[in-house]
Amino acid sequence: MTEPVQTPQSRFKPRIFSGIQPSGGLTLGNYLGALKRFVEKQDEGIETIYCLVDMHAITVWQDPEKLRQQTREGAAAFIAAGIDPARSILFNQSQVTAHAELGWIFNCIARMGWMSRMTQFKDKAGKNSENVSLGLFAYPSLMAADILAYHATMVPVGDDQKQHLELARDIAIKFNNDYKVDFFPVVDPLIEGAATRVMSLRDGTKKMSKSDPSDQSRINLTDDADAISAKIRKAKTDAEPLPDTLEGLKDRPEARNLVNIYAALADMTPQAVVAEYAGAQFGTFKPRLAELSVAKLAPITTEMNRLMKDPAEIDRILGAGADRADAIARPILNQVKDIVGMIRSR
Ligand code: TYM
């Protein structure tokens, strides 16, 4: 009898890791592209590890008090959205030092050429590349460490993180090849659903982002019902009614965006949304979208505000999560050190 062929992947148990930067309030983009899906993965019963990546946040300047506040607010958003800290591991990155340690080792695996091709770095650095932090350049290498410190196999993210995950795969493969080991899994990005790229409400060709100077461009998870409704009412659209097929939204990025948001919030496909609203004007569709958004987001905002009244409890949850995360990452990091040839005698 011949043994079944073992793919490198098959010896790793399914484990999900993902992170969000506490570099500002969370947006509807973060919620639909990431957080809502984090909850779905947890509820499917897969082992889930979620992280507020405060070390990534400081690659651009963060006011210390605001960083603390936003980290707690991020944790409150996770819990309010349905992450159960007993079932998922929820923590902030800087409390588990394996991330920084493995990040350094990966800085020595990743190549300058790979990093120079990262479009997010190029976008963030812009014309100012001489004056951005070294951390911003190394950002994707730390991200690879976040994932691989847990031997995570699946990473749910929005579309904008695709290139970073390809880099994490390249780092895992190069490490395995350089040291002639089959140690790191090659991660699978999970970029799924109707809202993998939520666009700005003011410009359908730009991503909805917490760093956009216009607050009108995004829905924040802290917005109240009136603010949400007003932003959707004023969202840029065109004069055409909704078509009856997705094909009809091809060159209408703003219309397509609102349909995608509706679909993701209602757990429908975009096809089903256009089928339901075929021929409707935005004067009809927008109030329905506003109503749906408020119905889905208001309970999360209310719960977040309640949780934020007890910051000590949030800190306790993050600390307990960090202990559990450390218990997984530390032995993996120790094996990495052994592979690399670093003495561990204490
Ligand atoms: P961040 O903090 O920018 O965003 C967190 C998550 O939200 C998704 N996202 C969106 N999805 C759809 N539409 C949008 N407009 C939108 N804006 C943001 C992002 O794709 C992401 O999934 N580098 C990461 C954080 C990170 C990480 C990791 C992620 C650090 N280490 C390890 C996964 C695994 C980032 O900046 O995400």
106 and 141, same domain (yes or no): yes
299 and 319, same domain (yes or no): no
pLDDT at 1: 47
- 3 falls within a domain: no
- 203 falls within a domain: no
**Residue 165 near residue 18, CB atoms below 8 Å:** no
pLDDT at 129: 85
Domain enclosing residue 233, as ranges: 215-306
100 and 161, same domain (yes or no): yes
pLDDT at 73: 97
Number of residues written out for the chain:
346
Mutate which of 17, 18, 20 for ligand 1? The one with the most ligand atoms within 8 Å of its CB, which is: 20
Annotated catalytic, 124?
yes
Burial-class residue 92 by CB neighbours within 10 Å (0-12, 13-18, 19+).
Answer: buried
- Taking the centre of ligand 1 as the mean of its atom positions, its distance from the CA of residue 31, in whole angstroms, is 10
- Taking the centre of ligand 1 as the mean of its atom positions, its distance from the CA of residue 229, in whole angstroms, is 25
- Three-state DSSP class for 199? strand
143 lines ligand 1 (CB under 6 A): yes
34 lines ligand 1 (CB under 6 A): yes
Q: Please identify, by atom number, the ligand 1 atom nearest to the C-alpha of residue 139.
A: 23
- Taking the centre of ligand 1 as the mean of its atom positions, its distance from the CA of residue 307, in whole angstroms, is 23
198 lines ligand 1 (CB under 6 A): yes
56 lines ligand 1 (CB under 6 A): yes
The DSSP symbol for 345 reads -
247 and 117, same domain (yes or no): no
70 lines ligand 1 (CB under 6 A): no
238 and 300, same domain (yes or no): yes
- Taking the centre of ligand 1 as the mean of its atom positions, its distance from the CA of residue 29, in whole angstroms, is 9
Give the closest residue (by CA) to ligand 1 atom 7. Answer: 30
The DSSP symbol for 213 reads S
- Taking the centre of ligand 1 as the mean of its atom positions, its distance from the CA of residue 161, in whole angstroms, is 6
54 and 97, same domain (yes or no): yes
- 49 falls within a domain: yes
Indicate the number of domains in the chain. 2
99 lines ligand 1 (CB under 6 A): no
124 lines ligand 1 (CB under 6 A): no
Q: Please identify, by atom number, the ligand 1 atom nearest to the C-alpha of residue 208.
A: 15
Residues in the chain where the model's pLDDT stays below 50? 1-2
Q: Taking CA 217 as the corner, what is the angle to CA 247 and CA 30, rounded to the nearest 5 degrees?
A: 80
Helix (H) or strand (E) holding 192: none
181 and 262, same domain (yes or no): no
35 lines ligand 1 (CB under 6 A): no
- 168 falls within a domain: yes
15 and 96, same domain (yes or no): yes
107 and 170, same domain (yes or no): yes
Annotate 97-161 with DSSP letters as a single string. Answer: THHHHHHHHHHTTS-HHHHHT-HHHHHHHGGGGGGS-HHHHHHHHHHHHHHHTTT--EEE--GGG
pLDDT at 7: 55
- 333: domain CATH number is 3.40.50.620
- Three-state DSSP class for 206? coil
Kindly report the backbone phi and psi dihedral angles of residue 213, in degrees, each rounded to the nearest multiple of 5, phi listed first: -60, -25
pLDDT at 188: 93
Q: Which of 66, 124, 236, 337 is catalytic?
A: 124
238 and 117, same domain (yes or no): no
Which of 67, 150, 154, 164 is CA-nearest to residue 325?
150
- 172 falls within a domain: yes
**Residue 171 near residue 108, CB atoms below 8 Å:** no
pLDDT at 8: 56
pLDDT tens, 164-192? 999 999 999 999 999 999 999 999 999 99
Mutate which of 60, 157, 220 for ligand 1? The one with the most ligand atoms within 8 Å of its CB, which is: 157
Residue 11: CB atoms within 10 A of its CB come to 10
- 283: domain CATH number is 1.10.240.10
124 and 39, same domain (yes or no): yes
Annotated catalytic, 309?
no
- 182 falls within a domain: yes
Give the closest residue (by CA) to ligand 1 atom 20. Answer: 158
260 lines ligand 1 (CB under 6 A): no
